[in-house]
A and B are shown apart, each in its own frame.
Chain A
C-alpha cells in the first residue's frame, strides 16, 4: 500500500560529505525519541502491569510475591473505591458540562464584530495558561469563609464552600470550569468562524428563527470540533488531582486520582495501586473510545 519514498540526500550537502546517508540521518532523528518513549512510557507501563499482579510495597525491602488477580478482585469489591468513582463521575459531568456551556456561550458572544476582539480573546485565555497549583491556591483564598471575595460579593456571610461536604466538590468543579472554559471557547471559536456566513444569510432570507438557525446550521457544523474539546476535557477531568488536592481534603472530594495517590504514596500499597491505575486506564480508554466512535459518526453525517 504505502511505498517507501525518501528524499535522496543531496550529494553536495555537508551531511553527505561527512559520509552520512539519508538512512543514518533518519535514525539520528527517530532513535532518541523512541528511546525516550521506551524508557519513560513503555517500560513503566509494562513494569507496573507486572507489579499490579504482586503484593509489592515500595517502602519495604520485601520481595514482590505474585498474587495473581487478587489486587483487582479486592479493588473491584471495595465499596469505598466505588464511592471514589461516583464522586469522579459527578465531578466529570458537572465540570465538563459547565465548561462546554460557558465556553461555547462565550465563543458565540465573541464570534461577531466587536471592538478589541483579539485583546478580549487573549485575556479570556489567561486562566488556561496558569498553573493548576496556583489556580487552586488563589481560589482557596477567593472561597475563604471569613475574608473571601466570593462570599462578600454574593452576600453569603460565612458560607463554607470548601469545608461543606456537599458543596466542596462543586466548588472545585467551578474552579475547573473557570480555568478550562477558555479551552472549549478557543476550539468553539475556531469551529464557529468556519461556518460560512452565506448560510446564515440564506437562513435569514428563508425566515428561520434564531433557535432554528442555531440547531440546524451552527450546532451541526461546530459539533465535530466541540466533540474534540469534550474528549480532551473529559480525559483531563477524569484524572483531576492537583486542584482538588490543594483546595480541599473532604472525603466527598476524594476522586480516583487522589485515592490512587494516597494508596501509592501514603499507604505504600504499590502493587494494589498499580492494579488500580490499570482499572482507571481501561475506563478512560473505554470512555474515549465511545466519544471517538460518536465523533466519527457526527463527522460522517
Chain B
C-alpha cells in the first residue's frame, strides 16, 4: 500500500505535449479518479506511473521513493487496461497464476492457489477457473483482468478505463464491485475514465485533467458543487451545467434581455463580464418566472425529466420532477435561486463566486 506523488511531470511524444507540468498527490488507500476527455493525458499519466514509459521531465514517487530508475516490474503496481489483455491459450486459472509464477516472487504452489481462489471468489469467477479465456464474455474477461491484478496484492492499482468496453448493465455491476474491492483491500486505486458518472460514483477524490494539466482536485461533492472554472463545470455533471454569458449591472445579471438576480455580493461585481453557471436541478419551472423558453426535448428518466430548452441560440438543461407536465414546443417560464448559481470570470473562466 502506498501513496503516489507526481511532481512537475511533462511528457512529449514527438512534437505533441501530452502532459505539461502535472502535479498530483494520491494518498495511501485512496480511490482516486482521473477524469478527462480523450487526449487529456489520462492514459499517459497511468503509463508513466506504471513504468511503461519514462517522463520527459519531472519526478514520480511511489510510497515516498523516487521510482525514476525502476522499470515496470520493479514498481510492483498492477495495471488493468481497457483492452482485455488476457494471455491467450491459457485457462482463467493460468491467467490468474501468471503474475505469481514469476521467479522474482518465489511463491509456493499452496500460496498461489490460495490467492487465486480468493481472487476468484471476490470476483465471482470461481466457476470459470478452468475455462479457456477465448471462451469468456467481455465482462468475464475484464473480471479476469482485474483478478490478475488482485492476486499480486500490489501496492497500487492502476486502471485505465477498465469498464468502458462493457455494456451499461455490466458496467454498473462492476463499478459497485470495484468500490467494494477497494474497501476490502484498502489499497491505493488510480482509476482513469472519461465518464463523469463513473468518476462521481466511484472516486474518493476526482482529479480533472485538461490538455495535460490538472485543473482541479477534490471530492466529488467539491468538484460538482464548486468547480474551479468553466471547464470543470462543463466536464462534471450530466446533463452539464448551464452557462450564460452576461454582465452585472446594479446587482443584477443581464443576460441578453433578461435580468436575473445574482448572489449576495452582486454589487461588488458591477460592470464585469461574467458567466453564470446553474446546475440543471437548480432550474425551477414556474409560471411568472423571469425567463421564457421553448421546450426542445424531453427525456423521461422515470424519477426525473430532463428538459432541453431553447432560449435564443442557447440550449438550457433543466432536471425537473417527473410529475411536471410539459409538452414539446411549449413555452415555459423558468428561473433559479440566486444562491445556487456560480459566477465565473468570462475571460479566464475562473470561479469567482467565493469573492
Give a binary string over B37-73; 1 marks a CB under 8 Å from any A CB, 0 the rest: 0000000000000111000000000000000000111
Chain B CB within 8 A of A201 CB: yes
Taken together as a complex, chains A and B put the C-alpha atoms of A196 and B83 apart, in Å, by 10
- Of A203, A207, A208, A301, most buried by chain B (CB within 10 Å of CB) is A207
- Of B79, B87, B90, B102, most buried by chain A (CB within 10 Å of CB) is B87
- Of A203, A205, A301, most buried by chain B (CB within 10 Å of CB) is A205
Chain B CB within 8 A of A251 CB: no
Give a binary string over B175-209; 1 marks a CB under 8 Å from any A CB, 0 the rest: 00000000000000000000000000000000000
Q: Are B88 and A208 touching (Cβ within 8 A)?
A: no
Chain B CB within 8 A of A79 CB: no
Chain B CB within 8 A of A280 CB: no
Chain A CB within 8 A of B127 CB: no
Which residues of the other chain, A, contact B73 by a CB distance below 8 angstroms?
A: 204-207
- Given A199-B87, A216-B87, A207 and B81 contact (CB-CB distance below 8 Å): no
Taken together as a complex, chains A and B put the C-alpha atoms of A188 and B50 apart, in Å, by 30
Q: Are B98 and A201 touching (Cβ within 8 A)?
A: no
Residues in B86-104 with C-beta less than 8 Å from chain A: 87-90, 98-99, 101-104
Q: Are A202 and B88 touching (Cβ within 8 A)?
A: no
Which residues of the other chain, B, contact A217 by a CB distance below 8 angstroms?
A: 87-88
- Of B83, B89, B101, B102, most buried by chain A (CB within 10 Å of CB) is B89
Of the candidates A198, A207, A208, A221, the one whose C-beta lies within 8 Å of that of B85 is A198
Which residues of the other chain, A, contact B104 by a CB distance below 8 angstroms?
A: 207
Chain B CB within 8 A of A209 CB: yes
Taken together as a complex, chains A and B put the C-alpha atoms of A201 and B89 apart, in Å, by 18
Give a binary string over A190-224; 1 marks a CB under 8 Å from any B CB, 0 the rest: 00000010110111111111001000110011000
Taken together as a complex, chains A and B put the C-alpha atoms of A203 and B52 apart, in Å, by 11
Which residues of the other chain, A, contact B83 by a CB distance below 8 angstroms?
A: 196, 198
Question: What is the size category of the interface that chain A forms with chain B?
Answer: 10 to 19
Closest to A201 in B: B52
Q: Are B102 and A206 touching (Cβ within 8 A)?
A: yes
Q: Are B87 and A203 touching (Cβ within 8 A)?
A: yes
Q: Are B102 and A208 touching (Cβ within 8 A)?
A: yes
Q: Are A207 and B102 touching (Cβ within 8 A)?
A: yes
Q: Are A196 and B85 touching (Cβ within 8 A)?
A: yes
Chain A CB within 8 A of B77 CB: yes
Closest to B78 in A: A205
Taken together as a complex, chains A and B put the C-alpha atoms of A220 and B103 apart, in Å, by 21
Of the candidates A205, A212, A216, the one whose C-beta lies within 8 Å of that of B72 is A205
Residues in A111-127 with C-beta less than 8 Å from chain B: none
Describe A's contact surface by its main secondary structure: helix
Closest to B79 in A: A205
In the assembled complex, how far is the CB of residue B101 from the closest CB belonging to chain A, in whole angstroms?
8
Taken together as a complex, chains A and B put the C-alpha atoms of A221 and B104 apart, in Å, by 25
Chain A CB within 8 A of B279 CB: no
Which residues of the other chain, B, contact A204 by a CB distance below 8 angstroms?
A: 52, 71-73
Which residues of the other chain, B, contact A301 by a CB distance below 8 angstroms?
A: 89, 132
Chain A CB within 8 A of B148 CB: yes
Q: Are A220 and B72 touching (Cβ within 8 A)?
A: no
Taken together as a complex, chains A and B put the C-alpha atoms of A301 and B131 apart, in Å, by 11
In the assembled complex, how far is the CB of residue A242 from the closest CB belonging to chain B, in whole angstroms?
40
Which residues of the other chain, A, contact B87 by a CB distance below 8 angstroms?
A: 199, 202-203, 216-217
Q: Are B102 and A221 touching (Cβ within 8 A)?
A: no
Taken together as a complex, chains A and B put the C-alpha atoms of A262 and B38 apart, in Å, by 70
Taken together as a complex, chains A and B put the C-alpha atoms of A114 and B207 apart, in Å, by 38
Which residues of the other chain, B, contact A206 by a CB distance below 8 angstroms?
A: 73, 98-99, 102, 148, 152
In the assembled complex, how far is the CB of residue B53 from the closest CB belonging to chain A, in whole angstroms?
10
Which residues of the other chain, A, contact B50 by a CB distance below 8 angstroms?
A: 205
- Given A204-B71, A209-B102, A212-B102, A220 and B77 contact (CB-CB distance below 8 Å): no
- Of B77, B85, B99, most buried by chain A (CB within 10 Å of CB) is B85
Taken together as a complex, chains A and B put the C-alpha atoms of A216 and B99 apart, in Å, by 12
Chain A CB within 8 A of B105 CB: yes
Which residues of the other chain, A, contact B98 by a CB distance below 8 angstroms?
A: 203, 206, 208, 216
Taken together as a complex, chains A and B put the C-alpha atoms of A217 and B133 apart, in Å, by 13
Taken together as a complex, chains A and B put the C-alpha atoms of A209 and B101 apart, in Å, by 10
In the assembled complex, how far is the CB of residue B88 from the closest CB belonging to chain A, in whole angstroms?
6
In the assembled complex, how far is the CB of residue A231 from the closest CB belonging to chain B, in whole angstroms?
20
Taken together as a complex, chains A and B put the C-alpha atoms of A207 and B148 apart, in Å, by 12
Taken together as a complex, chains A and B put the C-alpha atoms of A198 and B161 apart, in Å, by 14
Q: Are A209 and B85 touching (Cβ within 8 A)?
A: no
Taken together as a complex, chains A and B put the C-alpha atoms of A142 and B54 apart, in Å, by 48
In the assembled complex, how far is the CB of residue A218 from the closest CB belonging to chain B, in whole angstroms?
10
Taken together as a complex, chains A and B put the C-alpha atoms of A206 and B101 apart, in Å, by 9
Which residues of the other chain, B, contact A203 by a CB distance below 8 angstroms?
A: 87, 98
Q: Report which B residues bind A (CB closer than 8 A).
A: 50-52, 71-73, 77-79, 81, 83, 85, 87-90, 98-99, 101-105, 132, 148, 152
Extra A-B contacts (15), CB below 8 Å, given A201-B79, A201-B81, A207-B102? A196-B83, A196-B85, A199-B85, A201-B72, A203-B98, A204-B71, A204-B73, A205-B52, A205-B72, A205-B77, A206-B73, A206-B99, A207-B105, A212-B102, A217-B87
6 A-B pairs within 8 Å (CB atoms) are namely A203-B98, A204-B52, A205-B50, A205-B79, A216-B98, A217-B87
Ranked 9 nearest A-B pairs via Cβ:
A206-B99, A202-B85, A207-B73, A207-B102, A220-B89, A204-B72, A198-B85, A205-B72, A205-B79
